[in-house]
């Protein structure tokens, strides 16, 4: 049974201190679903997302991460995001507001992108909505959301995955694992003998169109094998997500957040900046530097605060000459 977590009002108190009205009006203009679930509206405020053009043939991507005040995503001896959040003794929510915001973004997501490092750092982590009230919102909109978002695990080294991790070993969680073709023989496709993953080899767009998992009775545990060269091929990835009817994705792996930014595909980031200095080298994007003339630029949409030293930002990303 998937775990639930009760988020009480005192645990998620936050104050909006800034809103970019021009940016919010633009989001409203392009949003199809203009309804904010009651609990989110009461504790965070209006939260809607623009509908990405069908011509784009890709989902809307939102990044989600927590950073220390010196820009680290965790401690050297314990990179868990929960450890970082709870280390701030001045945060009146004890890091719960940050965890709740992760659940808020999952509420709207058709899929969550993870990385192998996430599973190693978060042994009890599972990619579903923990908050029963927000999960109920999903269940009441079956035409819009599946009960549990796809957990998408993109990894170049599947042989190093912790196969007993609950993300990989829980039958209720739909998983799309994406691996390079040279690692096909390095993994076992059965998890604890409870169920097995269906393997689909994809070398070109037509392979996606013909894949058996696109039937009405599609399997919910899939391994997509993509070409080793330029892994992951984002053209194939976008088509794959499109064929699985994945329209909004929250990205919880810092590595893949930066990869999508390099491909000019990440649309927004929701970042918690917690008032702790960690030092060390656990830095997002450490090996994914941008050339100075191509650096993505963020436009602040809103800022919330919990206590006196936790900033929670919503940022719209812009590329090139300031246009998406």
The answer to whether the CB of 85 falls within 8 A of the CB of 222 is no
What is the Cα–Cα distance from 85 to 275, expressed in whole angstroms? 9
Quick one: residue 321, left, alpha or beta (phi over 0 = left, psi -120 to 50 = alpha)?
alpha
Q: Using one digit for the tens of pLDDT, what is the confidence trace for 273-318?
A: 999 999 999 999 999 999 999 999 999 999 999 999 999 999 999 9
Q: Give the strands of the sheet with 150-154, arranged side by side.
A: 15-19, 297-306, 310-318, 268-274, 60-68, 248-251, 111-115, 150-154, 175-180, 221-226, 198-201
Neighbours of 295 (CB within 10 A): 10
pLDDT at 265 over 90: yes
Q: Which domains does the chain have, with CATH numbers?
A: 25-93+101-110+247-324 (3.40.430), 129-246 (no CATH)
Angle at which helices 132-139 and 96-107 cross, to 10°: 0
Per-residue pLDDT band for 217 (boundaries 50, 70, 90) equals: very low
pLDDT tens across 55-109, in order? 788 999 999 999 999 999 999 999 899 999 999 999 999 999 999 999 999 999 9
Nearest to 3 by CA among 152, 187, 129: 129
Q: Which tokens in the block code for residue 2?
A: 């998937």
User: pLDDT tens digits, residue range 106-157?
Assistant: 999 999 999 888 898 888 889 999 999 999 999 998 888 999 999 999 999 9
Q: What confidence score (pLDDT) does residue 191 get?
A: 67
What is the rounded distance in angstroms from the CA atom of residue 153 to the CA atom of residue 168? 9
């Amino acid at each position: 049974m998937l775990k639930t977590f009760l988020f009480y009002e005192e645990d998620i108190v936050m104050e909006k201190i800034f809103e970019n009205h021009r940016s919010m009006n633009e989001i409203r203009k392009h949003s199809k679903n203009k309804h904010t679930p009651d609990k989110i509206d009461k504790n965070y405020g209006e939260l809607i997302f623009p509908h990405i053009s069908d011509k784009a043939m890709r989902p809307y991507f939102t990044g989600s991460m927590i950073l220390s005040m010196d820009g680290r995503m965790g401690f050297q001896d314990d990179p868990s995001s929960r450890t970082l959040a709870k280390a701030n003794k001045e945060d009146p929510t004890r890091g719960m507001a940050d965890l709740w915001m992760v659940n808020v973004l999952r509420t709207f997501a058709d899929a969550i992108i993870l990385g192998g490092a996430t599973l190693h750092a978060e042994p009890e982590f599972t990619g579903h909505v923990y908050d029963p009230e927000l999960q109920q919102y999903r269940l009441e909109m079956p035409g819009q959301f599946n009960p549990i978002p796809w957990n998408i695990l993109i990894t170049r080294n599947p042989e190093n995955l912790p196969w007993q991790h609950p993300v990989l070993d829980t039958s209720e969680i739909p998983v799309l694992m994406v691996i390079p073709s040279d690692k096909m023989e390095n993994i076992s496709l059965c998890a604890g003998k409870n169920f097995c993953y269906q393997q689909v080899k994809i070398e070109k767009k037509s392979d996606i169109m013909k894949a058996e998992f696109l039937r009405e009775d599609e399997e919910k545990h899939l391994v997509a094998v993509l070409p080793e060269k330029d892994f992951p091929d984002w053209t194939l990835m976008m088509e794959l997500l499109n064929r699985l009817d994945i329209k909004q994705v929250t990205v919880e792996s810092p590595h893949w957040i930066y990869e999508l930014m390099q491909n000019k595909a990440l649309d927004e980031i929701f970042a918690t900046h917690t008032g702790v200095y960690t030092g060390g080298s656990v830095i997002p994007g450490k090996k994914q530097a941008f050339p100075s003339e191509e650096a993505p630029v963020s436009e602040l949409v809103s800022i919330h605060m919990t206590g006196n030293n936790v900033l929670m930002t919503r940022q719209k990303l812009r590329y090139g000459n300031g246009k998406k």
